[in-house]
Chains A and B, each alone.
Chain A
């Protein structure tokens, strides 16, 4: 591992600090490989959801068209897409060796992500009140498992980025911490991309 230096002057700061060390490159390739596996994980979840969509034991159970509200899904999408943009700003400032602004944009990312999560919890609570639960039908199981796994990923991402902000607060930027921030940002983008598919396949196709 290259020597870890904090407060590197701008002219010595590499263009791609996250890939400046062998460890950084390993992390980059390894994490992309992990995301490839995650893609298949979500693909399996989508397949399960599509196979079990609207599969309910009897007429009284609500199905997708009765439940979903595009308005809420749209607001949630805006929260998450914007948080992806702010995480890009964070990485931009990381590459420009601007630690303060990087931390700021990471913080905004977390807030937007938390907003998304709050709306998702609200949505789940409303559905449960309507009798659409994890145990009520095969449709319910598949819905909550798909959306819930995505929500779980959001929680992990929020904790991850929050810990990075706190952990790095005192030490600043180095090629070592830059790689960590970049990896978390990749993860956050991935969650966002998955949500785009959820919006299309679950909500949009659900109300049609």
Chain B
């Protein structure tokens, strides 16, 4: 999976048993890719097998405050989180009536 700056993405809702570096507070939420960071060792694997872990791209995703915390949050707040791309899915047109905000 690769993303470009400006793409809208959703962090997968997931609860894997091992190490994972997608903060819980962004899982399931939609943000915008604002920066391509480069690649790094995929932490879910490197926690177990060290340097033999595969490398994966990281992108910085910006989330609006209200998207993460609800209407009480300041609309001028943005939280940026660096996320490995396999934690993300592209947000496009959805036909299943799911959340698309």
Task: Answer yes or no: do A and B interact.
Answer: no
Using CB atoms and an 8 Å cutoff, list the residues of chain A in contact with chain B. none
